[in-house]
Amino acid sequence: MTTTTKFNPYLMGNFAPVSKEITTDHLEIKGQLPPDLSGMYVRNGPNPQFEPLGKYDWMDGDGMLHGVRISGGRAEYRNRYVRTGGFEVEKDLGHAVWSGRLEPPQVNNPYGPYKNVANNGLTYHNGKLLALWEAGLPYSIAVPSLETNSPYLCGGYLDSAFTSHPKVDPMTGELIFFGYALDAPPYIKYGVISSNGELLQTVPINIPVASGPHDFAITQHYTILMDLPLRFRPERAEQGLPTWMFEMRVPSRFGILPRYGNNEDIRWFEAQPCYINHILNAYECEDEVILYGCRMSSTHLYAGNFRDPDENIPRMYGWGFNLKTGAVREGMLDRRPSEFPTINHRFIGREMRYGYTSKMASLQPLFDGIIKYDFATGRSATHDFGELRYGSSVSFAPRIGAIDEDDGWLLTFVYDHKHKRSELLVVDAQDMRGEPVARVILPQRVPYGFHGSWISEMQLRGNI
Ligand SMILES: [Fe+2]
């Protein structure tokens, strides 16, 4: 839903931005923080610094990080803007100079055609927390202070857009990424960064039309890139049509290539048309690559061309791509709408048993619980936040020394509309139906936002 700034749902209620950056320690805790839960939960999201110019979309706001440092059963909160180059320009001028993506590109803006807001993803790699926005470079963030360091250039070699959802291989420590372009081929660049931050490769990937994928997947040996039917064709504007349209007769394409492969090595598999914002995980199983994600049968998120009653409703879905025979199998695993899929990161690219998603309460991005999927049994368990309490994405924090995949906690910010306050929930992942083990009462409202990340104590201390 989009509209002008005056009556914009993404500037109202708990979508509205907060104006203060604060730091508060000794937060009130209902229940008990586990003594062996030590680290920091950080979540990214949009928080426009100034009144937006023109139409405002939820994706447009300047990135703001909200973090809760947990140690010794106590909690401290802080929030900080991601101080991007564009943020600093607008701060100096005292007003917004960039409009958002619902307005025409600002080709004559003296400060550049668009602003990297770094408001979407968060990934920790090689001693750095990266705030991510898919059309620009990552920003490196200091922890636990959450102060912005600088754009992350990977030794000066990164020069183009970088996905909000890079993957860190839990065994090798490599960071695998892609970036997309809309203006000219190559529409995708694919790359690998070593565990110690060396750019090992970036290679162009050919797709016929720009499709700007939001996510991708890795397995132990392969990378899976997506080329979905939501396509960008600037020439459509001349006919008065949206530049982004879901082309319903075009199949979804999944390109599988070896981790260090290039465009020559990629093998494309076709599946039913769909759109996918977020992948849960992928892994190799005998001759197949198995992929799970939250799939929509179509989308008009960026355009208005196709009316399917099920469009824009993401549901847990699975695909199998047979590397020997080329066969594809696919199917829905749950009819309940849910998004923001995540797993225990120790299983990224490996066969996992469990997955977690945020359960959607409505088509507006309000989430009223957490679903835990058990892919071994086909069962699921749900943690409900309670009446008029909604959250965003969830992160899994493993117990130190855990053996079981689900031995740990699920963390998420929840806003309680009745009591008008935000909380950090800590839910035992092995006791989904139980009360949260702890609810940390936050000293200010945390607006609904995007992705979070659990940073372990070892990572905070810079030891990994
Ligand atoms: Fe995302």
Residue 288 has pLDDT above 70, yes or no: yes
User: Measured at the alpha carbon of residue 361, what is the angle toward residues 357 and 363, in degrees to the nearest 5?
Assistant: 100
Reply yes or no on whether the pLDDT at 9 is more than 50.
yes
Residues 24-82: tens digit of each pLDDT: 999 999 999 999 999 999 999 999 999 999 999 999 999 999 999 999 999 999 999 99
Distance from the CA of 26 to the center of ligand 1, in angstroms? 31
Query: How far is the centre of ligand 1, averaged over its atoms, from the C-alpha of 43 (Å)?
Result: 12
Q: Nearest Cα to 70, choosing from 27, 23, 99, 38?
A: 38
Q: What is the Å distance from ligand 1's center to 451 Cα?
A: 7
Distance 164 CA to ligand 1 centre (A): 6
Reply yes or no on whether the pLDDT at 3 is more than 50: no
What distance in angstroms lies between residue 238's CA and the mean position of ligand 1's atoms?
30
CA of 239 relative to ligand 1 center, distance in Å: 31
Helix, coil or strand: residue 457 = helix
* Cβ count within 10 A of residue 13: 15
| Distance from residue 388's CA to the centre of ligand 1 (Å) | 24
Residues of the chain above pLDDT 90, percent: 88
Q: How far is the CA of 255 from the centre of ligand 1 (A)?
A: 20
Higher pLDDT, 115 or 3: 115
- pLDDT recorded at residue 304: 56
| Rounded Cα distance, 6 and 375, in Å | 45
pLDDT confidence tier of residue 2, bands split at 50, 70 and 90: very low
Helices (H) and strands (E) in the chain, counts: 2, 32
Give the pLDDT confidence of 305-324 residue by residue, as tens digits.
556 778 889 999 999 999 99
pLDDT digits (tens, 9 = 90+) for 334-365: 999 999 999 999 999 999 999 999 999 977 78
- What is the Å distance from ligand 1's center to 429 Cα? 22
How far, in Å, is the centroid of ligand 1 from the Cα of 30? 30
Q: Of 44-53, 230-239, 288-297, where does mean pLDDT reach its minimum?
A: 230-239
Q: How far is the CA of 61 from the centre of ligand 1 (A)?
A: 14
Per-residue pLDDT at 139 exceeds 50: yes
Q: Which two tokens stand for residue 16?
A: 């509205």
pTM, to two decimals:
0.96
pLDDT tens, residue by residue, 74-120:
999 999 999 999 999 999 999 999 999 888 888 899 999 899 999 99
Phi, psi dihedral angles at 420 (to 5 degrees): 55, 55
Element (H or E) spanning 424, and its range?
strand 421-428
CA distance 101 to 98: 10
Q: How far apart are CA 438 and CA 428, in angstroms?
A: 9
Output the CA 254–ligand 1 centroid distance in Å. Answer: 18
DSSP letters for 298-350: ---SS------TTTT--EEEEEEEETTT--EEEEEEEEEEEEEEE--GGGTTS
Mean pLDDT of the chain: 94
Task: Give me the count of residues in the chain.
Answer: 464
Q: pLDDT value at position 301?
A: 67
Q: How far is the CA of 215 from the centre of ligand 1 (A)?
A: 7
417-454 confidence digits (pLDDT tens): 999 999 999 999 999 999 999 999 999 999 999 999 99
> What would the two tokens of residue 186 be?
């190559």
User: What pLDDT score was predicted for residue 312?
Assistant: 87
Q: Given a cut of 90, is residue 299 above it in pLDDT?
A: no
Distance 32 CA to ligand 1 centre (A): 31
pLDDT at 463: 66
- Region 401-409: what's the mean pLDDT? 97
C-alpha 373 to ligand 1 mean position (Å): 20
Report the separation in Å between the CA atom of 382 and the middle of ligand 1, taken as the mean of its atom positions. 22
| Predicted local confidence at residue 322, as pLDDT | 98
Kindly give the distance from the C-alpha atom of residue 17 to the centroid of ligand 1, in angstroms, as a whole number. Answer: 19
The CB density around residue 210, as the number of other CB atoms within 10 Å, is: 21
CA 241 and chain centroid, separation = 29
